[in-house]
């Protein structure tokens, strides 16, 4: 069987300008942050980012990587708003496709099933229709009910982070929620999975239902310990609330931001993890 | 008894008659209200821990990760209590952004699940600080859908001053009751549109038994 192990930098190098990149997790939970940080270090730009947004969106916006964001929300959960996302929006710095979060799910599901759209009630009557003028509705052929035709959210690349995986791409979540990571993989042409630890297939113990991705859903596997930091990756670790507050404070103040970048985002993943350890000790 | 206990009881009353459905209260006061309702009039309510579990009286009773919440939303067995950055007289709600959507003056959360919630199941709102900044003639972005747009599930609005509903011929907002010590004028002065005020009562005070339960649910008085 194929050995799909690779580095975060190699994943970032798979991206090219203008690609549509789906990012798994939810808010400030189990985000593939090490892969996001690798993108910050790469020259790629003009990305369309598709995300149940958390600090992944903020950091990519801060680095000027985002041309368009497809989203239902951007939040740090314990902190309501991501300051970088707010700033670029308020400057008119990115294009957006803003949907109801259930529509977003339908879009991923449609892409996974190779359907052009899926019908959903969400959006009807709301300004989702006004701010996305390309959205159309369909009439049920059975009872004529009008429904939103949520277009497929087809992805060039999916990036997700799980607790464990083997070198072939069989991935396992050990926390309570799969989020939508399997759908992101199914909706994408190229799928990259980072994980806390790569183990032998036989060591993927736990309930078989926790095996969220199988190897035909994954093209590359990256071992990135603490790789979801500062978002949560339970049960391996919870959200680093102290660090998140530090991020939010720095992101909210353009004078503080350069020192955050200097301290955490300018020495690669090893430098990042060392700096995080230094901050917490 | 404090004003906030009245608000908790008013939030509990949102669920009267709900039966065996998912209560999704956003924020501490609606959460205390839903828990109070489950301990009193509505023992069959289901509630999540805000993550992936349904929590019953004796701990975890079910699994409800985010994707399954969308199943419940679409199926309609749910009553959500959301917040609002703006709310108009027909119950249209904005949590997306303030100003022009292309270049907002203030970016907020985004649509979240508000469009889907309001077309699928009963929705109420909790407004901790009743003001003209929130109760506006027209919302900048319609996230949650109101009564004038063809949907009829907006149940009530509970604020720190009063309880409002939409039981008028045109589905516009009506002042149901002011909390003890609050005048109708005070509510009108803090609302950016006219309210129907034909039959305004006083919001009920929680019973001694309910006050005891509220104290047990929130022993550290995070609600104050």
Alpha helices by DSSP H, B14-57: 28-39
In order, the DSSP letters of chain A are ----B--HHHHHHT--TT-EEEE-SBTTBS--HHHHHHHHTS---SEEEEEEESHHHHHHHHTT-EEEEEEEEE--SSSS--HHHHHHHHTT-SEEEE--HHHHHHHHHHHHTT-SEEEESTTTTSTHHHH-TT-EEEE-TTT--EEEEEEP--EEEEEEEEEEE-TTS-EE--SS--TTHHHHHHTEEEEEEEEEEE--GGG--S-GGGEEE-GGG-SEEEE-TTTTTTSBBTTTB---HHHHHHHHHHHT-TTTHHHHHHHHSSSHHHHHHHHHHHHH-
**In angstroms, rounded to a whole number, what is the distance separating the alpha carbons of residues B29 and B85?**
17
Q: Which residue of B has its CA nearest to A83?
A: B107
Query: What sign results for the dihedral spanned by CA atoms A16, A18, A24, A30?
Result: positive
* Residue A145 forms contact with B (CB below 8 Å): no
Each residue's pLDDT tens digit, A36-48: 999 999 999 999 9
Q: Under 8 Å CB-to-CB from B184, ≥6 apart: which residues?
A: B175, B178, B197, B200
Q: Phi, psi at residue B106, to the nearest 5°?
A: -145, 115
**In angstroms, rounded to a whole number, what is the distance separating the alpha carbons of residues A251 and A239?**
18
Distance from CA of B86 to the nearest CA of A (A): 14
**In angstroms, rounded to a whole number, what is the distance separating the alpha carbons of residues A29 and B6?**
35
Tokens found for residue A50: 């598709």
Distance from CA of A196 to the nearest CA of B (A): 21
**In angstroms, rounded to a whole number, what is the distance separating the alpha carbons of residues A65 and A209?**
36
- Using an 8 Å CB-CB cutoff, list chain B residues near A120: 74, 116
Which residue shows structure tokens 């008028």?
A: B168
**In angstroms, rounded to a whole number, what is the distance separating the alpha carbons of residues A95 and A18?**
13
* Residue B143 forms contact with A (CB below 8 Å): yes
- pLDDT score of B152: 64
**In angstroms, rounded to a whole number, what is the distance separating the alpha carbons of residues A279 and B17?**
52
Helix/strand/coil for B210? helix
For the purposes of burial, counting CB atoms within 10 Å of the CB of B185, is it exposed (0-12), middle (13-18) or buried (19 or more)? exposed
- Whether a cis peptide bond, with omega within 30° of 0, leads into A235 is yes
Q: Under 8 Å CB-to-CB from B206, ≥6 apart: which residues?
A: B1, B5, B6, B8, B9, B36, B214
Q: Which residue of A has its CA nearest to B74?
A: A121
**In angstroms, rounded to a whole number, what is the distance separating the alpha carbons of residues A81 and B85?**
13
| C-alpha B122, offset from chain centre | 10
Q: A90, B149: Cβ pair inside 8 Å?
A: no
The residues with which B104 forms a beta bridge, in sequence order, are B99
- Stated as kind and residue range, the H or E segment containing B99 is strand B97-100
Determine the straight-line distance between the first and last CA of chain A, rounded to whole angstroms. 42
Which residue in the set B63, B102, B115 is minimally distant from A123, CB to CB? B115
ipTM of this complex prediction, to 2 decimal places = 0.96
Q: Rounded to the nearest 5 degrees, what angle is found at the Cα of A10, between the Cα atoms of A108 and A109? A: 5
* Residue B97 forms contact with A (CB below 8 Å): yes
Find residues 229-268 of chain A whose CB sits inside 8 Å of chain B. none
Beta strand pairing status for B53-56 and A171-172?
unpaired
What is the Cα Rg of chain A in Å? 19
**In angstroms, rounded to a whole number, what is the distance separating the alpha carbons of residues B167 and B144?**
18
Q: pLDDT 10s per residue in chain B (224 long)? A: 799 999 999 999 999 999 999 999 999 999 999 999 999 999 999 999 989 999 998 899 999 999 999 999 999 999 999 999 999 999 999 999 999 999 999 999 999 999 999 999 999 999 999 999 999 999 999 999 999 997 668 999 999 999 999 999 999 999 999 999 999 999 999 999 999 999 999 999 999 999 999 999 999 999 99
CA dist list (Å): B172 to A247, B14, B43, B147, B169: 43, 18, 32, 7, 8
* Residue B70 forms contact with A (CB below 8 Å): yes
Distance from CA of A81 to the nearest CA of B (A): 6
CB atoms within 10 A of CB A190: 18
Low-confidence ranges of chain A (pLDDT < 50): none
């Amino acid at each position: 069987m194929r050995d799909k192990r690779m580095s975060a930098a190699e994943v970032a190098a798979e991206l090219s300008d203008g690609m549509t990149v789906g990012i798994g997790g939810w808010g400030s939970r189990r985000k593939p942050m090490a892969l996001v940080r690798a993108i910050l270090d790469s020259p790629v730009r003009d990305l369309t980012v598709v995300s149940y947004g958390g600090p992944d969106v903020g950091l990519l916006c801060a680095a000027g990587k985002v041309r368009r964001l497809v989203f239902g929300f951007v939040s740090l959960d314990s902190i309501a708003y991501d300051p970088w996302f707010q700033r670029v929006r308020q400057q008119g710095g990115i294009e957006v496709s803003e949907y109801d979060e259930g529509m977003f799910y339908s879009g991923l599901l449609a892409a996974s099933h190779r359907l052009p759209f899926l019908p959903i009630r969400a959006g009807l009557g709301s300004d989702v229709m006004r701010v996305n003028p390309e959205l159309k509705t369909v009439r049920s052929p059975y009872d004529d009910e009008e429904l939103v035709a949520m277009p497929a959210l087809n992805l060039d690349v999916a990036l997700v982070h799980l607790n464990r995986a083997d070198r072939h791409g069989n991935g396992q979540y050990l926390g309570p929620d799969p989020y939508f990571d399997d759908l992101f993989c199914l909706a994408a042409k190229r799928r990259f999975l980072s994980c806390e630890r790569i183990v032998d297939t036989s060591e993927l113990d736990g309930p078989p239902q926790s095996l969220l991705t199988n190897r035909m859903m994954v093209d590359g596997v990256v071992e990135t310990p603490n790789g979801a930091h500062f978002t949560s990756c339970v049960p391996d670790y919870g959200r680093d609330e102290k660090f998140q507050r530090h991020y939010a404070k720095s992101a909210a103040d353009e004078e503080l931001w350069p020192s955050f970048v200097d301290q955490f985002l300018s020495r690669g993943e090893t430098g990042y993890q060392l700096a995080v350890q230094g901050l917490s000790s | 008894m404090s004003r906030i206990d009245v608000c908790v009881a008013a939030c509990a009353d949102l669920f009267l008659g709900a039966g065996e459905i998912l209560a999704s209260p956003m924020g501490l006061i609606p959460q205390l209200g839903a828990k109070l309702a489950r301990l009193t009039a509505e023992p069959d309510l289901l509630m999540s821990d805000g993550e992936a579990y349904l929590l019953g009286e004796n701990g975890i009773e079910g699994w409800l990760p985010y994707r399954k919440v969308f199943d419940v939303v679409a199926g309609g067995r749910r009553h959500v209590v959301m917040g609002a950055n703006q709310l108009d007289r027909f119950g249209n709600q904005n949590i997306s952004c303030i100003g022009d959507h292309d270049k907002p003056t203030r970016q907020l959360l985004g649509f979240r699940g508000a469009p889907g919630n309001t077309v699928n199941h009963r929705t109420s709102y909790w407004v901790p600080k009743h003001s003209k900044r929130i109760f506006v003639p027209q919302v900048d972005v319609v996230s949650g859908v109101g009564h004038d747009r063809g949907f009829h599930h907006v149940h009530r609005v509970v604020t720190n001053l009063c309880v409002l509903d939409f039981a008028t011929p045109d589905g516009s907002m009506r002042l149901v009751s002011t909390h003890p010590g609050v005048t109708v004028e005070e509510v009108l002065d803090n609302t950016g549109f006219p309210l129907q005020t034909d039959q305004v009562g006083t919001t009920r005070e929680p019973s001694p038994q309910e006050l005891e339960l509220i104290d047990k649910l929130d022993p550290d008085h995070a609600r104050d």
